[in-house]
Structure 1
Amino acid sequence: MGRVYATVAQYETFTGVSPAPPDTAARLAKASRMLDREVVRYYVFDKDSTGMPTNTILAEALATAVCAQVSWWAELGGSTSGADAVGWSTVSIGSVSLGGGTTAQSGDATPARQIAPDAWDALLSPDLTPDIWCRVVWS
C-alpha cells in the first residue's frame, strides 16, 4: 500500500461534511496514488521511514491537495466519471438533449482523471519554497 497523504478526519474538516461517505478512505488512497504518479514522483523531499514528508508545510499541502481531489471527484460524480461516456455524441433525457463529439477522448482525458484546480492551488502554494521541493528528478 502506498502513501496516503490525508486522513478521513482531514477530509471532513476540508469539506465540512461529517461523517464522510463510507468509501472516503479508499478515495483518499486513490487520490494519493494519482498525485504520486502525476506530480510528487518528480520531486525529492525529506521523508520519514514510511515515505511521508517530514516538512509540515509539505505534508499539509499534500493533505489539502488529496482532499481537494476527492472533493472534485464528488462534484463530478466519481473518480472515473466520464470514462463510461467516452464515445457518446448525443444524450437525451426526456425533453432535454445534449450533444458533443467526444469520440476521440480517452478515459484518461476525462475531467475526473485530471488534477483538480484546488489540488493544484495547494501544490503550487508560495509556501512550498524550493528548499521544501528540493529538486526535480526526471525519471
Structure 2
Amino acid sequence: MPDAGDLVTARLAVDPADVTTGATLVVTRPDGVVVTPVVTGADGGSTWTAPVIYTVAGIWRLSWTVTGTGASVEHELVSVGPAPATMADVRSYATTTQLANALHKAPPLDAVELLERATRLLDSDFLKAAVYDVDDDGMPTDAVVQAAFADAVCSQVEFWGEVGVETDVSGPLQGVVIGSVQLQYGAGANRSGPDYYAPGLTRALASIPGDKLRWIAYSGGC
C-alpha cells in the first residue's frame, strides 16, 4: 500500500493491441480533484504507463480509457495511507531513541504511533490529578519529571508489545494509589482493573518527588 507523498508508475496492459490503440488516464483524488497524468505507450500499444503522485491519504480512483484495438474502460481503487509520522508530528513524552534504550533493542516500526498513544493514555488516565511545571505546549519542564514520564510511556509501549495493544481502553483505571492520592475511575458493571496499564508506568510516576509533582484529590471518569 502506498503512502501519501509516494510517486508510483501506474501501468495498464492491453490485449489485443496494435498501432491504433491509445490510452488515457484520469486520476480522481480523495478530495474530488481530478488530474490527468501524461501517459506513455510501449510494446506496440500493449503497455501503457503514467506517473502518479499520491499527495494525500485516502481512496484514489485510477480510470483508464483505451481507444482503438482493445478499447475498454478500467477503474482501479488505490488505498493510500498517511505518510509515516515522525516525532516532530506527535505529542510524546519519549523519543524513539529513549524507547530503544528502554527496550534494549530496536523499537518497532510503529513506535512513533505507540508513543503518542501511550502519552495520550498517561494524560487522560493519570495526569488529571497531577500538578507540575509545564511549557507553553503543556510539556513538563523539570528534568526529573521529563525522565519519569518518558519511563512511563516506554513501559506502556513495552507492555503493549508483550500483551498486545487494545483497540481502546474499554474501562478506566481502578484502585491505583500514587503518593497520597488514590485514582479510582469508572463504576458498576463497566469497571476494569489496571490490566490495561504497565506496572512500570505507575512505578515511574510514583518515583517523582513531591516537590517536582504534586497530586491533588481527583475521582471520576476519564
Structure 2 length-normalised TM: 0.45
**Residue 3 of structure 1 corresponds to which residue in structure 2?**
91
Counterpart-to-counterpart distance in 2, 1:121 and 1:45: 17
Consecutive aligned runs of 4 or more in structure 1 exceeding 3 Å deviation: 79-83, 108-112
Superposition deviation, residue 80 in structure 1: 3.6
* Aligned pair partner of 1:21 in 108, 111, 118: 108
**Residue 52 of structure 1 corresponds to which residue in structure 2?**
139
Which structure shows the higher strand fraction? 2
Question: Match for 1:118: what amino acid?
Answer: G
Question: Match for 1:43: what amino acid?
Answer: A
CA RMSD of aligned residues (A): 2.8
Question: Match for 2:139: what amino acid?
Answer: M
For 1:47-86, what per-residue CA distance to the aligned partner results, in whole angstroms no more than 9, with x for missing partners?
0111111110010000000000000000002234997xxx
Counterpart-to-counterpart distance in 1, 2:198 and 2:159: 6
**Residue 133 of structure 1 corresponds to which residue in structure 2?**
213
For 1:94-139, what per-residue CA distance to the aligned partner results, in whole angstroms no more than 9, with x for missing partners?
xxxxxxxxxxx86x84876x221011111111xx122111341648
Superposition deviation, residue 2 in structure 1: 6.9
* Greater relative contact order (Cα < 8 A, sep 6+): 1
Say which one has the larger Rg: 2
Superposition deviation, residue 24 in structure 1: 0.7
**Residue 119 of structure 1 corresponds to which residue in structure 2?**
201
Alignment check: 8 A CA contact 1:81 1:110 kept: no
Structure 1 length-normalised TM: 0.70
Paired residues in the alignment total: 113
**Residue 15 of structure 2 corresponds to which residue in structure 1?**
none
Closer/same/farther in 2, CA of residues 123 and 77 from structure 1, 3 Å limit: same
* Aligned pair partner of 1:37 in 119, 124, 130: 124
Question: Match for 1:123: what amino acid?
Answer: L
- Further displaced range: 41-50 or 29-38: 41-50
Which structure shows the higher helix fraction? 1
Closer/same/farther in 2, CA of residues 42 and 82 from structure 1, 3 Å limit: closer
Gaps of 5+ in 2: 1-88, 171-188
Gaps of 5+ in 1: 84-104
Question: Match for 2:144: what amino acid?
Answer: I
Alignment check: 8 A CA contact 1:43 1:137 kept: no
Closer/same/farther in 2, CA of residues 137 and 76 from structure 1, 3 Å limit: same
